[in-house]
Amino acid sequence: MSEKPIKTMMQLDSHQHFWSYHPAHQVWMTDQMAVLRRDYLPDELKPLLHASGFDGSIAVQARQMVEKTEWLWPKYCVA
C-alpha cells in the first residue's frame, strides 16, 4: 500500500479581495470591468483554491471602512 506524502507547509493565495457588489460602493468599476460587477465571496473561491492545491487565502480589505472589516472578519476569517 502506498503512503500519501506528508504536507509540511500550507500554500496560501497571498492576496484576495471579496465583496458583495453594490454600484454605490464599487464606483471604480467601469463598463469595461463589467465582469467584476457581481458578488465575489469566499464560498465561491474555496473549491477553486482546493482544486489548485491551495489551503486558503489571505483576504485584503479593499475599502477602508470599519463596516467592511466587521462584515468580512467574523464570517470568513480563520485565525
50 occurs within a structural domain: yes
CB 55 within 8 A of CB 13: no
Question: For 14-67, how does the pLDDT look when each residue is reduced to its tens digit (9 = 90+)?
Answer: 888 888 898 988 888 999 999 999 998 888 888 999 899 998 888 877 667 777
**Number of domains comprising the chain:** 1
The closest of 79, 33, 26 to 56, measured between CA atoms, is 79
**Within a domain: 1:** no
Report the Cα 55 to chain-centroid distance in Å.
12
Residue 47 sits at the vertex; the CA angle it makes with 63 and 79, to the nearest 5 degrees, is: 55
For residue 49, give its domain range. 13-20+33-76
Is the pLDDT at 79 greater than 60? The verdict is no
Does the global pTM surpass 0.85?
Answer: no
Q: Each residue of 1-12: pLDDT tens digit?
A: 667 777 678 888
> What does the pLDDT read at residue 32?
95
